[in-house]
Structure formats: structure tokens, C-alpha cells
Amino acid sequence: MRALEVVYNLSLTSGGPSRSVQGLTAALDRAGVKTWLMTTIPSADPWGENIPRYVNGKVLSPHGVWWAYDFRRLFAVEIRRIKPDIVHIHGMWNWRIHVVASVCRSMSIPYVFSPRGALSAWALSQSRMKKRLAWTLFQRRDFYGAAGFHATAEHEEADIRKLGFQQPIILSPNGVNFLPSLPEWNRKVDGRHRLLFLSRIHKVKGLIDLVQAWAKIDRADWVLEIVGGDGEGYWQTVEEEITRLRLSGSVIYSGLLNDERKWEAYRRSDCLVLPSYSENFGLVVAEALYAGIPAIVAKSAPWGDLVAAKAGWWVDNGVEPIAKAIREVISLSDEERSAMGARGRALIEKRCSWDAIGSCMKSGYELLLKKVAE
């Protein structure tokens, strides 16, 4: 089988898909699927820093006034070269992604859509009029033409069904790149315990709620470290709130970290917090648990397993629920937090192995192709 994975942006500042799509591509390749990975816009380092070199990669960069025509031409050339049996499209609401779906239909190539969280209630409420226009112009047609969908969690599967689409859905989570060894623990590196936020700096991530919750905490020997790329300039808004609440002495902003430094950030922390309003999967939660630390996660993300595994907190959005969970984290001993982290790691090793996910996706592709051939 030959598969082509297409994602709009692989810049690390774009969030989880920049890593998870690369991981899926490599996992499919190991599962015996000849796989290509294509991104539709160039960036300084579109392939990230740890993409396996055996994965075939391509950046399509149309130029000139007639870029839309040029992009369609470039993509059609690549399709004829690769000759994929199936194309997996990650993301939506984007004209270039629409062109990918359109070319696939014109060449009778089955394609799969991964909404990547774009169908959640919160996501649909943002730029509502633009999305209604895009839905009418191309997105609905692209969805109806899909051979199937991929959802990373049951709530995303439900979002797809709510829109009336009846095609098969491959239900498969994102995975974690299990490391040969993790960095050494470096807790209390500056004499303080550390609560870690690691994600994009964006209003969807609930950072203002987190900062306001932090202001309510007795945090004498704790610090909040915020890690993430500020691709849209939202950090200024967060920083103003930190200043207004006089929290500068207990909040650190570390910016965007590469993969090596990211794992070091996990291993110097006592707990992760992710208070997002909308979250497709929450790859950072899986990574934090794998690194051995518990997590506080908003219920917008599919991490109810945290509670059952006694590995973290799954809370409502808002300042008070977040503050309550943080107080509980602080009240625990180091040994109790470490035990929660160990249970979290066991959960991830069972649930988020890329090899298992690659085999699952391969089977999903095979079933879709069989259905198309009927």
C-alpha cells in the first residue's frame, strides 16, 4: 500500500500536528505502508528536528499571482509521481487543503480527513462567518467526497457524526515517541517546585484562566513555567495579565523549546497543566505522563482516563476548577506526585505506542480501500 499524508503546516509553532503527523508517517512506514509526507507551505524548518530520515518529505511552495493554479498543478504532478492508493488530509478550513481534496476527487483517489479538533463547539464558534462561507464554498463538498475520517478520540468522532456524515471513521489516538532514555530528574532546580504549561501560546489554551488561578494559590515555593511558541502575538496579552496580578516573580516564560529541551522541561517539573477550551487530543498530556509527571487537564481534552488511572485531574474549564486542582497538587508529597506520574507512564505505554497506532491506521486504510472497491 502507498499512502500520502498531507498537513498544512509542520512548523513547531503550529502545535501538536507538527509532531503527531510526522510520528504517524514514520509509524505507517514501519508497519509496511510506503508513506510520503507533504506540507503545503514552506517554513524555516518544516520537518522539525527529529523526523526520521527514511520518511519521504516534500514542501509545495507555489509562487506568483496565480498561486492557486500553480499549487493545483504542483500537487497533481506529485500525485502522478507518488501514485498513492490513499491520501490522508490533516486539517480543514484551508483553501490549499481543499485543492488537495479536489485533485484527489478528479483523479479518483480515495482520501481521509482528520479534522484535528476543528469541529469542536469552541473551534466552530471562532471566525464563525468565515467558516460558514468556507463550508458552503468547499468544505462540505470535500467532506462528502471523503472515503472516511480519522478521529483521535470519541468526542471528535461524535463531532463528525453530528454533521450527518456516515462514512467510516478510524478511531485512533496520537502517539508518543518513546525515548531510549529520558533526561535525569532535575526537580527544584532553582529551589522551587514547578507547575508546567507546555503548548501553543493562543487564547484557545486557557492561559488567562491559568494565570488568574495561579494568583489565587499560596505558591511560596512554587513557580509556573510557561513553554510554547507565540506564533500569533498572544503572549503580550498574557504578560499584561501577569503584570496586572503582580505574578512576575512566580511565572517564567521559556518560549518555544526544541525536542531535547522540551523533555528536560518535563523532567524538571512536578505537574503539567493544560486548561484549553478546545483540544483535539492533547499530545503534551501524553508526553508529560510518559515523562513521569501527573497532569491537570480541562475536560475539553479526551483525558478522562487520568482519573481512573489515578494519574491526574480532569477538570471543568474556568479559574476556580483549575485553582482547586493546583491546590491539590501542591498539597501532595513528592512521593505521592511521583506515584501518580508512574501510573501515568504505565497508561501511556499501553495506550500511545506509535507502532500499535501505525498498525491500527494501516488496518483502517485497508478497510476503507476495500469499501471503496465494493
Decide whether 2-175+353-373 matches 193-351 in CATH topology: yes
pLDDT tens digits, residue range 28-48? 999 999 999 888 765 555 444
pLDDT of residue 281: 84
C-alpha cell recorded at residue 239: 504578560
Residue 246's φ and ψ, nearest 5 degrees, are 55, 50
Question: 123 falls in which pLDDT band (50, 70, 90)?
Answer: confident
pLDDT attached to residue 96: 84
Residue 262: enclosing H or E segment and its boundaries? helix 259-267
Check residue 176 and report its DSSP letter. B
Q: How confident is the model at residue 68 (pLDDT cuts 50, 70, 90)?
A: low
| Residue found under cell 503546516 | 9
Q: Which residues contact 254 (CB under 8 A, 6 or more apart)?
A: 225, 226, 227, 265
Residues forming a β-bridge with 224: 195, 251
pLDDT of residue 54: 37
Q: What is the pLDDT of residues 130-161, one digit of tens each?
A: 999 999 999 999 999 999 999 988 889 999 99
Sheet holding 222-227, edge to edge: 251-255, 222-227, 193-198, 271-274, 295-298, 312-315
CA distance 124 to 131: 7
Give residue for cell 463531532. Answer: 159
Domain ranges of the chain: 2-175+353-373, 193-351
Q: Which fold has domain 2-175+353-373?
A: Rossmann fold (3.40.50)
**Rounded alpha-carbon distances, angstroms, from residue 281 to 92, 174, 220, 253, 345:** 16, 7, 33, 24, 17
| Percent of the residues in the chain that have a pLDDT greater than 90, as a whole number | 62
The CATH number of 193-351, from 3.30.1330.60, 3.40.640.10, 3.40.50.2000, 1.10.3470.10, is: 3.40.50.2000
65 band by pLDDT with thresholds 50, 70 and 90: very low
Answer for the pair 371, 168: CB distance below 8 angstroms, yes or no: yes
Q: How far is CA 89 from the centre of its chain?
A: 15
Triad 215, 216, 219: Cα angle to 5°: 75
CA pair distance 133, 113, nearest whole angstrom: 19
Q: What is the DSSP string of 25-84?
A: HHHHHHTT-EEEEEESS--SSTTTTT--TTSEEEE----STTHHHHHHHHHHHHHHHH--
User: Which has more pLDDT, 219 or 334?
Assistant: 334
Q: CA–CA separation, 118 vs 132, rounded Å? A: 13
pLDDT band at 255 (very low <50, low <70, confident <90, very high): very high
Residue 22 pLDDT > 80: yes
Amino acid at 68: A
> Which comes out higher in pLDDT, residue 259 or 249?
249
Q: Is 215 left (phi over 0), alpha (psi -120 to 50) or beta?
A: alpha
Reported as a single tens digit per residue, the pLDDT across 288-334 is 999 999 999 999 888 988 999 999 999 999 999 999 999 999 999 99
